[in-house]
Amino acid sequence: MRVRRLGPDDWATWRDIRLSALGSDPEAFGSTLALERRFDEARWRELLTPERGVKVVAEDPEPVGLVAGVPHEVDPTVLYLYSMWVKPEFRRRGVGEALVGDVLAWAREHGWARVQLRVFRGNDTARRLYSRLGFAGEGEIMDHRLAPVS
């Protein structure tokens, strides 16, 4: 398995795995398959521009998981981790850990102070993963404070 950061030229890769995720586990996302199926190439490319953060896929050899890190809408010191998803047959194999780890590495490389995410109630598996990776929080919001890069 390899983890790869995507850019605008990788729009079809991001689109395909994102639509698979929305179709497989619709309750896990704040968007819908019907909505994102209507996005055109320009919209997909725009989502992958550097100012929109980082989009990462895990490949084995085809994409088997995805995650994104985007600037928080309210707090400019926070990178918001979202859209974490791994194909069911690849879960519990370290794919999620590799994906989140890459977003955390990217955040450090780009000087972010914190990475924050939301875990839906009852998703204890995800909470354990994020806790292992340094996130903390009792409610749906979990935080990971990053050490400043020296």
Give residue-wise pLDDT tens across range 8-25. 999 999 999 999 999 999
- What distance in Å separates the CA atoms of residue 129 and residue 103, rounded to the nearest whole number? 14
Does 150 map to a domain?
no
Does 56 map to a domain?
yes
Does 52 map to a domain?
yes
Phi/psi of residue 38, nearest 5 degrees:
-85, -10
Give residue-wise pLDDT tens across range 14-60. 999 999 999 999 988 889 999 999 999 999 999 999 999 999 999 99
Of 89, 86, 85, 115, the residue nearest 103 (C-alpha): 115
Percent of the chain with pLDDT over 90: 79
CATH number at residue 77: 3.40.630.30
Does 46 map to a domain?
yes
Of 81, 147, 149, 79, the residue nearest 109 (C-alpha): 149
Q: What is the pTM of this model?
A: 0.92
Domain residues for the domain of 23 are 2-145
Does 135 map to a domain?
yes
Does 87 map to a domain?
yes
Residues contacting 40, CB < 8 A, separation 6+:
none
